[in-house]
Amino acid sequence: MTATGKGAATRDSIVDRAYALASSSGLESLSIGPLAQAVGMSKSGVFAHFGSREDLQLAVLDAAGQRFLAHVLLPALKVRRGLPRLRAIMAAWFDWARQTAGGCVLLAAANEYDDRPGVLRDRVQQHEIRWRSDLARAVQLAVDSGELLSDTDPMQVAFELYGLALVVHHDAGLTGLEAAVERGQRALDRLMHSYSPNS
């Protein structure tokens, strides 16, 4: 392995560990000292990869965004455009709670930073805006295929789908994920039906 390759691998393993810590305690509670200890490095070793705590937090946010897209969006892109793809996205999104044992880093960060202006809040918003527009695009494709009504507002549907994912994840902690996903699926069916030309 080249020196650069080894450096990148070390950086990745620091981010992995930081991501796990952020999942259970939030991004704001990340600090270089305990993290260095957890990965068996000196603080200056960690600082060699991240100039500051904020740089590390940004890297963890980006890693969370990548994992989310890899689990929720990418597999669905192989499914036919329109309702099948939209349903594949929602099924994977409901299932996302299973991938994020301690909690979703992105969602927790949205709550942590929404009232704290700064680069972290900006980055959280970038991820949110991008995801909402990916979702709206998937809705638009179902409009284009004639499976949803032509006057459907894709951003409105994306908003409603987001609400379903939030309540499924919320209820997973209350009733267990399976019961919550079942309710989420029923709500999704009704939502799709009410935007359908055949309703």
Packing angle, helices 119-144 and 53-72, rounded to 10:
10
* d(C-alpha 23, C-alpha 165), whole Å: 18
Closest to a second copy by CB, 39 vs 167, is: 167
To a second copy, the closest distance from the beta carbon of 31 in angstroms equals 15
69 vs 191 by CB, closer to a second copy: 191
Tell the smallest beta-carbon distance from residue 139 to a second copy (Å).
14
CB of 132 to a second copy, least distance (A): 8
Question: Measured from the CB atom, is 80 or 186 closer to a second copy?
Answer: 186
User: Dihedral through CA 13, CA 14, CA 15, CA 17, nearest 10?
Assistant: 90
In the numeric block, the tokens 């880093």 are attached to 105
Shortest separation between residue 4's beta carbon and a second copy, angstroms: 38
- Measured in whole angstroms, the distance separating CA 80 from the mean position of its chain's CA atoms is 22
* Closest CB 167 distance from a second copy, rounded Å: 3
What does residue 196 show for φ and ψ, rounded to 5 degrees? -90, 145
Binding site for a second copy (CB under 8 A): 101-103, 108, 110-111, 114-115, 125, 128-129, 156, 159-160, 162-164, 166-168, 170-174, 183, 186-187, 190, 193-194, 199
Q: Which is nearer to a second copy, 56 or 168 (CB)?
A: 168
Q: 3-class SS at 2? A: coil
Residue 102 DSSP one-character state: T
Please, which residue, 62 or 153, has the CB nearer to a second copy?
A: 153
d(CA 6, CA 65): 24
